[in-house]
A and B are shown apart, each in its own frame.
Chain A
Amino acid sequence: MITLFGVFILSLLVITAIGIVRSTNLFAAVMLAGLFSLQMAAMFFILDAADVALTEAAVGAGVATVLLLSALALLDDEERRTRRSRWAAIAVSLATTLLMIYATFEKPRFGDPLAPANQHVAPWYLENTPELIDVPNVVTAILASFRGYDTLGELFVIFTAGTGVLFVLAQRRRDTRFARLPNADAQGLRHHLVPRVVGRLLVPFIVLFGLYVQFHADFGPGGGFQAGALVSAGFVLFALLEGERAALRVLPRRVLAGMIVLGALLFVGVGVAGMLLGGNFLDYSVLGATPVAGQHVGILLVELGVGITVTGVLLTIFHAFAARVSER
């Protein structure tokens, strides 16, 4: 049954992807891309990757779609048909695919517990996590502690994106020749009763769920990044309902910038604290009375840092685009 479902979703993925490429209406393509992410999330769930599924759904279907739509509000949403030759593109992508098929022809059997990928490092994590870190979710243990430095890097990737969007969109237009006429009012959906009532009910629950995901990451799927994506999704919904200005009254830009910096410094600070207390950078064992207690403190703070920065960056990016739309 699961196999059948998997084959079905995989086929849908291919069809959706072709639809994205072929559609000339960009709005439709963006919507299809959101669907594509949801299908991908379902597929990840089938493959036992609960954390990844949650993230893909929150980020791919949620955040990415919102960003694409707010960008589209500033652009033309029809793609022009062109008659450029596509042979080079077909040749390169076909060559890549053939190389991949060549490589995967005799890949280790699917689901094989003896496959090299499932030997060596992975069982070590599964075996030693209870003793060394003592959290049930091994993904969180690896993400926040064993490979915490990657996660620090991940936090700075998202920080870089925030800096970049602010920097690029801070530039004033030199002329307004190409500006489209104002179409959407910046008032949000204030005049539409049903979405407003339903949405208002939803917002607190989304934020609450985000916080749950943040602090429950040790035990179930979740973590700072997913939580940040969910909390900011809640605020984005709020902004869509009540207008951007109302959302900025709740969380002004200055507060968001503060959050971005606070989260980043929290993560780096935990790393430096480990160093000052006699361990290596990002060694949490020295932070508590016992190494395991130290790990718990470290993971909690680090995930919190990621959550705060991600919320700050995603909302900052959203407002940067939204401000362009309402500027018109």
Chain B
Amino acid sequence: MQILGYYNYWVFAVLLMIGLYAVMSRPNLIKKLLGMAIFQAAVFLLYITMDKVEGGTAPILRAGVADEIYSNPVPQVLILTAIVVGIATLALGLAIVVRIHEEYGTIEEDEIRRQDRE
């Protein structure tokens, strides 16, 4: 179990890096949005890793069971909200990308900048 614990944090850090790298280095706007989604998903993983309690189950109380161990519900609540925020941002970002494509004929950042300079 302990290996899984460390591994979770490492994967979180690596996903964070991959996402941030995609956002910064990729000129394609859709790729940037996908990178952003990976970046956000990494943070979800950080929070959810926190909630695990050894031997625990999902925090849905069972009547009559007294000494059941439950995992922490708080990070779950926070991440439910964060997932919604993620999809909201993605939807708005996509709408803007579609409009950019209509106006510029491209979704590559370099090309857009070149057209604006002209």
Interface residues of A (CB under 8 A from B): 3, 6-7, 10-11, 13-14, 17-18, 20-21, 26, 29-30, 33, 36-37, 40, 43-44, 47-52, 55-56, 59-60, 63-64, 67-68, 71-72, 74-76, 79-80, 82, 84, 86, 88-90, 92-94, 96-97, 100-101, 104, 107, 109-113, 115, 117-118, 121-122, 125-126, 129-130, 136-139, 142-143, 147, 150-151, 153-154, 157-158, 160-162, 164-165, 168-169, 171, 173-174, 177-179, 219-221, 223, 225, 317, 320-321, 324
The residue on B at minimum CB distance from A108 is B50
Most buried by A among B9, B24, B34, B92: B34
Taking Cβ atoms with an 8 Å cutoff, the residues of B that contact A are: 1-22, 24-28, 30-31, 34-35, 37-38, 41, 44-45, 48-63, 69-81, 83-92, 94-99, 101-108, 110-111
Q: In the complex, A94 Cα to B18 Cα: how many Å?
A: 9
Q: Do residues A122 and B20 form an inter-chain contact, with CB atoms below 8 A?
A: no
Q: Are A29 and B4 in contact, CB atoms less than 8 angstroms apart?
A: no
Q: A52 contacts B76, CB within 8 Å?
A: yes
Once the chains bind, are A110 and B49 in contact (CB under 8 Å)? yes
12 contacts between A and B (CB under 8 A): A18-B18, A29-B34, A49-B76, A68-B30, A68-B34, A75-B107, A80-B28, A93-B24, A101-B10, A129-B61, A161-B89, A223-B80
Main secondary structure of the interface of A (DSSP, over half): helix
Chain A residue numbers with a CB within 8 Å of B53 are 48, 111-113, 118
Q: Point out the residue from B21, B58, B73, B88 that lies within 8 Å of A90, measured CB to CB.
A: B21
Q: In the assembled complex, how far is the CB of residue A146 from the closest CB belonging to chain B, in whole angstroms?
A: 8
By a CB distance below 8 angstroms, the chain A residues around B58 are 48-51, 221
10 closest cross-chain pairs (CB), A and B: A110-B5, A161-B88, A111-B54, A89-B24, A89-B25, A178-B105, A48-B71, A93-B20, A168-B95, A97-B17
Q: B77 to A142, Cβ gap below 8 A? A: yes
Select B31's contact among A79, A117, A121, A154, beta carbons within 8 Å: A79
Q: Of B14, B50, B60, B101, which is within 8 A of A137 by CB? A: B60
Question: Which of B12, B15, B87, B111: most chain A Cβ within 10 A?
Answer: B87
Contact assessment for A138 and B61 in the assembled complex, using a CB-CB cutoff below 8 Å: yes
| Chain B residues, Cβ within 8 Å of A59 | 83-84, 86-87
Chain B residue contacts of A111, Cβ below 8 A: 1-2, 5, 52-56
Distance, CA A151 to CA B19, complexed state (A): 27
Given the known interface contacts A40-B45, A125-B73, the answer about A26 and B31 at a Cβ–Cβ threshold of 8 Å is: yes
Structural contact, B76 and A165, CB atoms closer than 8 A? no
Q: A3 to B34: give the CA distance in the assembly, Å.
A: 28
Q: A21-B35, A111-B5 are in contact. Are A160 and B88 (CB under 8 A)?
A: yes
Q: Which residues of B contact A67 (CB under 8 A)?
A: 87, 90-91, 94
Distance (whole angstroms) from the CB of A248 to the closest CB of chain B: 19
Nearest-Cβ distance from residue A309 to partner chain B, whole angstroms: 11
With A68-B94, A151-B81 in contact, is A126–B38 under 8 Å at CB? no
Query: Given the complex, which residues of B lie within 8 Å of A84, measured CB to CB?
Result: 25, 27, 110
B1–A71 contact, CB under 8 A?
no
- Given the complex, which residues of A lie within 8 Å of B83, measured CB to CB? 52, 55-56, 59-60
Do B97 and A80 touch (CB < 8 A)? no
> B14 near A14 (CB under 8 angstroms)?
yes
Distance in angstroms between the alpha carbons of A225 and B106 in the assembled complex: 35
Give complex CA distance A151, B83 in Å: 12
CB distance from A269 to the nearest CB of B (A): 21
**Given known contacts A13-B11, A122-B72, A220-B60, A56 and B81 CB-to-CB distance under 8 angstroms:** no
> If A49-B48, A50-B58, A178-B101 touch, does A109 touch B20 (CB 8 Å cutoff)?
no
- CB < 8 Å neighbour of B60 from A177, A221, A320: A221
Bound complex: CA A50 to CA B51 (Å): 12
Nearest-neighbor residue (CB-CB) of B10 within chain A: A101
Q: Select which of B5, B44, B54, B94 is within 8 A of A56 by beta carbon.
A: B44
Q: How far is the CA of A255 from the CA of B102 in the complex (A)?
A: 29
For A11, A14, A51, the residue with the greatest tally of chain B CB atoms inside 10 Å of its CB is A51
Question: In the complex the two chains form, is A74's CB within 8 Å of B90's CB?
Answer: no
The residue on B at minimum CB distance from A114 is: B53
